[in-house]
Amino acid sequence: MESLMIADDNYDVVYGMETNIDWNQYEITLLPYALNGRDALDKIIVNTPDILIIDIRMPELGGLDVLKYITEHGYKTKTIICSGYDDFEYAQEALKYRVTEYLLKPVPWQDILASVLKLQKQIRKECLQNQKYKQMQKQVEKNMPYLRERYLSKLVCEEGINSFDLESFQFFGLHVTGNHSTILVVQLDDYLGFEQLHSRLEIESIFMSLSTIVSRTFLNYFVCDVFIYMDQIIVCLELSKDRTDNDLIHVCRKIQEEILTEFQFTVSVGIGTECKSMEDWYSSYRHARAKLEQIFYVGPNTICIDMPATDSVQEKYIYPQKIDQLLVTAIKLSDKTQCGLLLDQFFESFSGAKKKVVFSFCTGLVHTLYLACLEYGWESHEILVSNNEFLYLIENYSSVQALKNHICKIVYHLCNISLKGKSPSTIINAAVSYINHNYQNQITLTSVAEYIHMSPNYFSVQFKQTMGINFIDYLQKIRIDEACRLLSETNEPICTIATKVGFLDGRYFSQLFRKLTLRTPSEYRNQQPGIHSIRAIPTEK
């Protein structure tokens, strides 16, 4: 309900307005009336009416003076003037104080009611608009981090900012002014590998944590604004005469150390060119990203501040076709040494090139190896797969060295199954020998496969075909056989024996031992001939 106050020095007028209309019927609440201007102002201050009906001429304080006060002090009260003076100057003065209606006495009750209901409708409309506005404000406040991030993304990472973009700067509560500033890019060194291990929700959560670490650490030393853009964290940093490049590197290194400690992965930082204004931010951002291209060669966990960017025009690289043919020949001869030398030459042929050149050359080499497999009948589908799949795999590598290691693994595997009589069974025998000498260590199918330069899946199949038993069962049998020997020949505690043969969990060792021998380790030891000679023998009395 809306509230109504009547102020008039004629009590009969006030009484008539209050009694001739059933205000409750129209959802109007009557407030205490006033018979002079001073009393009216005091009651307005206390009760803050929604609607005020007031006379112009009243004792102590005129109606226009009351209106002037409430207008200057921000009251939202809607006003109707009821006056016996048809004076243009009064009407003109009243307009300055946002008077809605100017009625001349005597006023029929129907006209008063119509004016009040008109204001009531207006008040309710404004109230509804205010509610919608507040809801919008809450929504904006709720989405402010996203809006702020989107604004910064547009300002920094998209070419061509305009004056409207800059005018919005203060709205988002940003700190860096753009004068004497720079852009930093923080990126995960192995984002594709990281992406395969986590869901989208986990990735968003981790990036929020990374952004918090970056922001908190930089704010201890610099004025900055930090936001997430795609798979990177961007820092708008205000440079200071009190801070040197060494200070900047020190902060970046602290961030790298904290992220490595908390998340067990590395990040690299690209530092862009110095900016004189916000218009330079996009160029600085591009420069920082270009510097990060060099991480592919120098390795992860790097701070790129003085490295030359790769935006400049580079020489054309010609694919070393002769080398890849010589490599196929070396594989046919199973000459791993020559293969290693040729691979070194192959990678040197495009040293310093951009990633896309490296990926293109490596894909070409693997395609050559794939065709050689088809021609010579080398079983290598587990490693080479198809060209399209390899193209996806190749882009998972964050450094040229990791990519080179992968291709070396492929080549050495092909050497193992090529000519000179090196059949898969010969290689499996080497794996068996390795297992027999290393069962006490934490070896796995993957580690043994790496030792003989095979893919885990291919090694698993070949091992089963050659040995008639799968890898895990063979490893467990070797370990339990050795445990039986130690139980028979020594008096070492069972837990020590379990550790010696490669089991970290004593309970699991006992369970597996019983499964394979149908006895517990203690039962097995007690049943061995001469076992009592290991224990203390009571002396005869």
Q: For the chain, what is the mean pLDDT?
A: 83
pLDDT classification of 378: cutoffs 50, 70, 90: confident
The pLDDT value given to residue 529: 73
152 DSSP assignment: H
pLDDT classification of 306: cutoffs 50, 70, 90: low
In the sheet that holds 223-229, the strands lie side by side as 223-229, 232-238, 181-188, 267-271, 303-304
62-76, 167-181, 314-328, 399-413: lowest mean pLDDT where? Answer: 167-181
Which whole-number Å values give the CA distances from 72 to 54, 58, 203, 214, 502, in the listed order? 17, 20, 54, 48, 87
Give the CATH number of domain 2-128; options: 3.40.50.2300, 3.90.550.10, 3.10.350.10, 3.30.450.20.
Answer: 3.40.50.2300
Please provide residue 44's backbone torsions phi and psi, each rounded to the nearest 5 degrees: -65, -45
What's the token pair of residue 424? 């898969």
- State the Cα angle at 382 between 376 and 387, rounded to 5°: 75
Residue 386: which region, alpha, beta or left (left: phi > 0; alpha: psi -120 to 50)?
A: beta
How far is Cα 386 from Cα 401, in angstroms, rounded to an integer? 22
Cβ(183)–Cβ(234) under 8 Å? Answer: yes
List pLDDT tens digits, range 234-265.
Answer: 999 998 877 788 889 999 999 999 999 999 99
The pLDDT value given to residue 172: 75
Pairing of strands 223-229, 181-188: unpaired
pLDDT classification of 457: cutoffs 50, 70, 90: confident
- Count of other CB atoms within 10 angstroms of residue 447: 13
How far is Cα 104 from Cα 84, in angstroms, rounded to an integer? 5
- E strand residue ranges, 398-491: none
3 state DSSP class of 28: strand
Q: Which fold has domain 175-304?
A: Alpha-Beta Plaits (3.30.70)
Give the CATH number of domain 427-447+456-533; options: 2.60.120.260, 3.30.70.890, 1.10.10.10, 1.10.10.60.
Answer: 1.10.10.60
pLDDT higher than threshold 70 for residue 64: yes
pTM above 0.95, yes or no: no
Residues of the chain with pLDDT > 90: what percent?
Answer: 40
Residue entry with tokens 């809450």: 138
pLDDT higher than threshold 50 for residue 540: no
Higher-pLDDT residue of 129 and 93 is 129
Residue 325: closest CA among 295, 373, 365, 385: 365
Q: What is the dihedral of CA 214, 180, 281, 233, to 10 degrees?
A: 0
Higher-pLDDT residue of 372 and 49 is 49
275 DSSP assignment: B
How far is Cα 487 from Cα 541, in angstroms, rounded to an integer? 30
List pLDDT tens digits, range 409-446.
Answer: 888 888 887 755 555 566 678 789 999 999 999 999 98
Would you give the distance in Å from CA 503 to the centre of its chain? 39
Residue 80 forms beta bridges with which residues?
A: 53, 101
3 state DSSP class of 9: coil
3 state DSSP class of 4: strand
Cβ(103)–Cβ(86) under 8 Å? Answer: no
42-56, 77-91, 470-484: lowest mean pLDDT where? Answer: 77-91
In 468-505, alpha helices (H): 471-489, 494-500
Query: Can you tell me the mean pLDDT for 64-84?
Result: 89
Residues of the chain with pLDDT > 70: what percent?
Answer: 85
